[in-house]
Homo-oligomer: A and B are copies of this chain.
Amino acid sequence: MSIDPPGYELPLRLFLGFRVLIDELHAELARQGHPHARPMHGFVMQAIGTEGTTAVELGRALGVSKQAAGKTIETLERLGYVERARDSRDTRRKIVRLTPSGVDMLVRSARIFDDLRARWAAVIGDERLRELEADLRKVTPQEVFRLDVPGWFGA
């Protein structure tokens, strides 16, 4: 019978695991020509998708206010990852779409995440990693996007 660790270690390790992956992703993204990508950009652009979206829709998808979504879109636009165009059928709306640079960043992120996952598998084993993922799925919500995170994403 092994002794259970104190309960506070679990959130700490989950957070550290997240941080390790995110930090390594962005170090590699910077090497691959995306030095200005910030941790939340990938998540937001994933939520934008290939179809495009609007600030209000994006805010709802991410669980934040439309104003917050609008500011993030502004930042992504300045970085050249998205572009906005008026909707001809509803001139109130502005459709946000990924640029080729934005798509490139997402494609590279996906590849880098796959590589990082493989590195974890090499350390703890294929089967254990699949179990870890399966267990986490059981204790986390299915709706995956929820990003009202202040400073935890770090630099």
Contacts and interface: CB of A to CB of B under 8 A. Distances in A.
Interface of A: 2, 4-22, 25, 39-40, 46, 109-110, 112-118, 120, 123-124, 128-133, 135-141, 144, 146-147, 149, 151-155
Contact of A5 (B2, B8, B133, B152): B133
Nearest to A154: B6
Contact of A8 (B2, B8, B14, B110): B110
Contact of A16 (B109, B131, B136): B136
A17 B116 contact: no
A20 to B, nearest CB: 6
Counting chain B CB atoms within 10 Å of each CB, the highest count among A13, A112, A151, A152 belongs to A13
A25 B11 CA distance: 10
Contacts of A22: 11
A144 B114 contact: no
Contact of A135 (B7, B9, B128): B128
Nearest to A5: B133
A150 to B, nearest CB: 8
